[in-house]
């Protein structure tokens, strides 16, 4: 029987290498190669006819992150099953990734046996959720989450731009200039986001944005 082929995309070489060992230890799977980021993946996919069955995709990577990479795969290699693989258990991130077309979302603290199960399920059913992810999504659906229930409506471009600049030492006046809008309009965005995220101050906004990976904090 032909083994299912897996590609690993993760900037943590040590992790990628170790994970490769783990996957290769499973009878049904084998790792074709692993790469450090989205750009490298695309290069490899373009230059090789050997299309993998599964891509294990990290989200936080330098150069080209998981979201951008996922978009490219969806556009150009829609037949590949993508499992997102991240330490980030924030709802915004999970939903964003699944919306982009990931077939499952694994947290890096997953137990190796569940990982094996995930690989198999994504091959047979085309979908897998880890338990904690499922719980998070359920909470979201039922609105049981104080802070995270806002993830439904996604931010408009202009709001996101504002948010990014708000996570900066700029004053609102400077942000307004940067965005070529009136300070009053900026104030409107501010108020909208405060309500949306249920925060009380710009500090709260920054913390929320960082915790939910809406801006890259580092």
Interacting residues with a copy of itself (CB under 8 A) = 11-15, 17-19, 21-22, 25, 36, 87, 90, 106, 108-112, 115, 166-169, 171, 199-204, 206-207, 210-211, 217-218
Q: How many helices (H) and strands (E) does the chain have?
A: 10, 6
Interaction partner, residue 82 (a copy of itself, DNA, none; CB < 5-8 Å by kind): none
200 binds DNA (CB under 7 A): yes
18 binds DNA (CB under 7 A): no
Read out DSSP for 40-83? Answer: HHHHHHHH-S---SEEEEESS-SSS-HHHHHHHHHHH-TTSEEE
Phi-psi region of 181 (alpha: psi -120 to 50; beta: other; left: phi over 0): beta
- SS3 category, 7: strand
- The CB-of-172 to a copy of itself minimum distance in angstroms stands at 11
Give the β-pairing of 104-107 and 81-86: parallel
36-44, 53-61, 85-93, 190-198 -> range binding DNA (CB under 7 A): 190-198
Q: SS3 sequence, 137-166?
A: HHHHHCCCCCCHHHHCCCCCHHHHHHHHHH
> In terms of CB distance, is 36 or 96 closer to a copy of itself?
36
Select the residue interacting with DNA from 4, 34, 36, 190 (CB under 7 A): 190
Residues between 122 and 181 that touch DNA (CB under 7 A)? 156, 158, 171-173, 181
- The CB-of-76 to a copy of itself minimum distance in angstroms stands at 26
185 binds DNA (CB under 7 A): yes
Select the residue interacting with DNA from 1, 14, 46, 203 (CB under 7 A): 203
Interaction partner, residue 188 (a copy of itself, DNA, none; CB < 5-8 Å by kind): DNA
Give the β-pairing of 54-58 and 29-35: unpaired
> In terms of CB distance, is 64 or 210 closer to a copy of itself?
210
Contact present, 189 and 162 (Cβ < 8 Å)? yes
Question: Rounded to an integer, what is the distance from CA 214 to the centroid of its chain?
Answer: 10
- The maximal CA–CA distance of the chain, rounded, in angstroms, is 65
Residues engaged in binding DNA (CB under 7 A): 156, 158, 171-173, 181-185, 187-188, 190-191, 194, 200-203
């Amino acid at each position: 029987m032909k083994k299912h082929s897996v590609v690993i995309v993760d900037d943590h070489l040590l992790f990628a290498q170790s994970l490769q060992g783990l996957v290769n230890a499973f009878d049904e799977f084998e790792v074709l190669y692993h790469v450090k980021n989205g750009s490298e993946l695309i290069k490899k996919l373009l230059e090789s006819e050997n299309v993998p069955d599964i891509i294990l995709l990290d989200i936080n990577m330098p150069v080209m992150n998981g979201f951008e990479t996922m978009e490219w795969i969806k556009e150009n290699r829609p037949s590949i099953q993508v499992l997102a693989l991240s330490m980030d258990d924030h709802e915004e991130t999970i939903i964003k990734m699944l919306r982009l077309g990931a077939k499952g979302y694994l947290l890096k603290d997953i137990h190796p046996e569940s990982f094996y199960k995930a690989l198999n399920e994504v091959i047979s059913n085309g979908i897998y959720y880890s338990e904690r992810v499922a719980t998070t999504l359920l909470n979201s659906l039922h609105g049981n989450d104080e802070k995270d229930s806002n993830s439904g409506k996604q931010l408009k471009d202009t709001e996101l731009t504002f948010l990014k600049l708000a996570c900066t030492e700029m004053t609102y006046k400077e942000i307004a200039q940067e965005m070529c809008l009136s300070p009053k309009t900026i104030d409107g965005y501010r108020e909208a986001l405060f309500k949306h995220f249920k925060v009380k101050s710009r500090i709260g906004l920054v913390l929320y944005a960082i915790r939910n990976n809406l801006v890259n904090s580092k």
